[in-house]
Every structure is written in C-alpha cells, then in structure tokens.
Amino acid sequence: MPKKVKPAGDGKEEGPVPCKQVKLEAAGGPSPLNLDSPSGLFESLISPVKTETFFKEFWEQKPLLIQRDDPVLATYYRSLFRLSDLKSLCSRGMYYGRDVNVCRCVNGKKKVLNKDGKVHFLQLRKDFDQKRATIQFHQPQRFKDELWRIQEKLECYFGSLVGSNVYITPADSQGLPPHYDDVEVFILQLEGEKHWRLYHPTVPLAREYSLEAEDRIGRPAHEFTLKPGDLLYFPRGTVHQADTPSGLAHSTHVTISTYQSSSWGDFLLDTISGLVFDTAKADVELRAGIPRQLLLQVETTAVATRKLSGFLRMLADRLEGTRELLSADMKKDFAMNRLPPYYVGDGAELSTPGGQLPGLDSTVRLQFRDHVVLTVGPDQDPSDETREKMVYIYHSLKNRRDTHMMGNEETEAHGLRFPLSHIDALKQIWNSSAISVKDLKLTTDEEKQSLVLSLWTECLIQVV
C-alpha cells in the first residue's frame, strides 16, 4: 500500500494512504493561520507545503490533501462555523434558496428539501435529524467575521473573487451527487469527519458546473477522510462526491472557492474590444464596411474568414508593442463585487478621510493598495460623444459585506475618474512607497493639488 506523509513532531512518515498522488511533505506541526498579510495567510493555509511547490505542482493540475494532527488548528477551524451557529443566524432572518439550501443525495440524484420563505431553526434541525438532510449555508463570510477576514485577504492574494459555502451533513448521509465545479476549491474540515472520493476530470479546468453520472466517472482516483484541521485543494473540473461516515457525529466543512471566469480566455474577451477600438482609430482598413449581405449568409465566406484572420494577426502585432491593455469589465467587476477590507468597529477609516489634509508641500503614499485597481477606458459619460479615454480608479473600501457573492444583489462601483493626462502622476503614486506632491508629473500646481485632494477624500492616500 502506498504511504502518506503526515506532519509529525519528528518529521517522520507514518500511516497508510489510499492514493499516492495526494502528497504532503513532512514538516513540523502547523500553527493557526497568519493573517498579517495575504501571502502570509496563504502560506499558513497550505503549510507545510511551500507556496512555490503548490503553484508549480498542484494549482490547476491535481488535488492536494493536507492532513494535520494539530489540536490548536483544529480548534481554530471549528470556531469558523459550527452547527450550533445556525440558531442565532436563523434569528437574523435567513431565507431558503438565498441563504440556505436543504438537500440530500438519493440514488445518485440531488433531492432539494427547501421550504418556502424564511428559515426556522426548529424545522431546519428537524430535516437535519429526521431526513438526514445536508444544510448548505451560502456565503457565511457575510456574518462570520473570521471568514470575512480570511476571504478578504485571499481576494487580495489571488486578485479574484473568493466565495464560500458551509456544508453540514449528518452521519450516514450524502448531500450532493457526483459533480464538478467551475472554481478552484479549498476545503477546510471544521467539525466531525467527511469521506471524500475524487475522480479524474471529464472536462479539465471546466468553465461551468455540471453533475456527472456514476457510470461515467469510473473508479475514484483518490479516496480519504478529512478530520478537523485538514485541508483539501482540487482544481476546477475535478469530479467529486463526499459523505459523512455512519456511527459518527455530523460533519461540517467550508468550501472556499476562487478563480471563476478568470481564465486567459476570459481576459482575452475582456481586452480584445478595447484593442479593436484603439486599432480602428488608427487604421482605416478596420473602419471599412463589411461586404454587402454578409450578415445574410448562412456560412461565413472564405473571403470574410481570410479578412478576419488578417485583422487578428494585425491585432497580435499591435498587442506586442503596447503596455496599455484596456480592461472592459474584469477589473471593475472585481473591485465592485469583492469584500471591503476587514475592520473592527465602525470602519470609519474606510469612509472618512483622516489625518492631515494634503497640500503642495506634502509627501503622500497610497493606502489600501490591495483594494484599489487602476484602469484606462473610454469615457462613460453619455453626454460626451467623443468617447475620449479616461483613467478610472475603482476600490472596495465602501463595498457592502452583506451582499458579497450574492449574485442578484445590486452592487455599486466606488471610485474616481481623471483625464488621461493624469496617468503618469497616478503611476508615480502607485509605484512609490511615498512621493512629494510637487514631483507629480502634471502641468500645474493646481492639477497636483486637485489630484491628491480627490484621492485623500476617497481615503486612498495619506500624508506621511
């Protein structure tokens, strides 16, 4: 039988493993998560595996199982979300479908047991105990501060939205049939034990969620049981199913997910429109009309295909020589929909500028750097028919935690816009640990003062 490596005090290998592909390096016992920085958090999350090793060998490639026998970490994981938390959460007004799903896997099919309207804890507990239903709690970071703190740091680390769901499953039960997801998945086992089966992807790096029939997926490639303090990672497209073993207490785990719609294909779609827009301004050939009746053709003509191929080659050549890629939506959407920075108290530092008012003689520095994006795009003012380029700064300081990753909830973009002539001065602020206002690359002192005052009012810079 293959061996697994388990972190132990003496760094020795011990115990059997059901699958050799699931790797864990020997190391000393891990400590609770390091929340001082985004990189520190991720390093501690996957400890003892090194970050470089993770991205070289596992990320988007294969699963990673980290089994830890660490009572301190297990206790910390349990504090993130417990079955007993549901009572107080239900008293705050949770609704079926939006906040909670109740389901069970029966004969390979997902059976949804949701009621209508508001969730009542006694009914939820009844379905859990008597129907052995799984309780799925959506986006608990809206209510649980420590998950907010973790996921906000991970959004900074990945530069991508990070959502989560909690699954609470009674003994001898399974909530979901075999399926794969369109996200990178990190599973933290919080309470009890969960038996997992992972299968080779039928669609590697899948772009959508899908169920898979048992007769299509074959035998598990990996099979193991998670205990509190353990972590499991697997790439999008990995087919999986999990159940709580019989004879044990319930299982609670949180699934932390990221990188939805964050592929090179998505980025290409996002930037190509701006590239075409700019190129058409400079090249009359792109502004020439398409052949008459082209849109009426059943199939694209060979002439049109050759023309488009030539244009794509021209765009590729232009792309090689530019550093100004225009993001149409991805940067803005990320800034709009992510979590606000974690704070304790009323969060006044995120909405009310503090400290000294910046002036021409001030030295300033950017703050909340990981929560701010800078992009260039056409003027979005409908009254401006010239559609001149503008510099946009979007940030998440005023985002609402209670709507994070809820999809149908309305979100609002927060930020500033400046003329394109301000781009060099903004890059100076972005690329410096601190800079004198006098040294900003703008024509007049009034422009310099106006720029830093706008950024200060939005809580994006401080005087040092």
Residue 231: predicted pLDDT: 98
Name the residue type at position 309: S
What average pLDDT does the segment 354-361 reach? Answer: 93
11: pLDDT strictly greater than 90: no
Residues of the chain with CATH 2.60.120.650: 38-258
**Res 95 pLDDT > 80:** yes
pTM: 0.90
Instruction: Give, in order, the Cα–Cα distances in Å from 411 to each of 287, 398, 402, 403, 424.
Output: 36, 11, 11, 8, 30
The answer on pLDDT for 332 being more than 90 is yes
In the numeric block, which tokens belong to residue 179? 């399926």
Average pLDDT over residues 258-276: 93
Q: What's the rounded Cα separation, in Å, for the pair 108 and 105?
A: 6
The span from the CA of 233 to the CA of 188, in Å, is: 9
Q: What is the pLDDT of residue 6?
A: 42
Lowest mean pLDDT segment, chosen from 52-61, 94-103, 296-305, 362-371:
296-305
Portions of the chain given CATH number 1.10.10.1500: 264-321
Does domain 264-321 correspond to CATH entry 1.10.10.1500?
yes
Residue 1: pLDDT above 60? no
Lowest-confidence segment of 2-11, 73-82, 373-382, 418-427 by average pLDDT: 2-11
Q: What is the pLDDT of residue 383?
A: 61
Its CATH class, for the domain covering 328-463, is: alpha beta
Find, among 255, 22, 50, the residue nearest to 154 by Cα: 255
In which element (H, E) is residue 287 found? helix 284-287
Q: Band of the pLDDT at 12, cuts 50, 70, 90?
A: very low
- At residue 277 the predicted structure's pLDDT band, cuts being 50, 70 and 90, is confident
Is residue 421 over pLDDT 60? yes
Q: Which amino acid is at 25?
A: E
Residue type at 219?
Answer: R
Q: For the chain, percent helix, then strand, then coil, each to nearest 5?
A: 35, 20, 45
pLDDT top residue among 15 and 337: 337
**Mean pLDDT value across residues 434-445:** 97
Please state which of the ranges 24-38, 262-276, 278-292, 421-435 shows the lowest mean pLDDT.
Answer: 24-38
Higher-pLDDT residue of 217 and 408 is 217
- pLDDT over threshold 80, residue 7: no
Both tokens of 25, joined, read 């390096």
Give the sign of the dihedral formed by CA 19, CA 23, CA 26, CA 29: negative
> Where are the extended beta strands (E) located within 215-301?
222-226, 231-234, 239-243, 251-258
User: pLDDT (tens digit, 9 = 90+) per residue, 151-200?
Assistant: 999 999 999 999 999 999 999 999 999 999 999 999 999 999 999 999 99
Tell me the pLDDT tens digit for each residue of 382-398: 665 556 889 999 999 99
For the chain, give the mean pLDDT.
Answer: 90
CA distances from 61 to 21, 55, 188 (A): 11, 9, 20
In the predicted structure, residue 462 carries a pLDDT above the cut 80: yes
Contact 187, 231 (CB under 8 A): yes
What is the pLDDT confidence band of residue 29, given thresholds at 50, 70 and 90?
very low
Q: What is the pLDDT of residues 442-460, one digit of tens each?
A: 999 999 999 999 999 999 9
> 38-258: which CATH architecture?
Sandwich (2.60)
What pLDDT score was predicted for residue 387?
66
Q: Is the pLDDT of residue 236 over 70?
A: yes
Q: Three-state SS string across 89-125, please?
A: HHCCCCEECCCEEEEEEECCEEEECCCCCECCHHHHH
pLDDT tens per residue, range 285-331 = 999 999 999 999 998 889 999 999 999 999 998 888 777 767 779 99
pLDDT of 424 > 80? The answer is yes
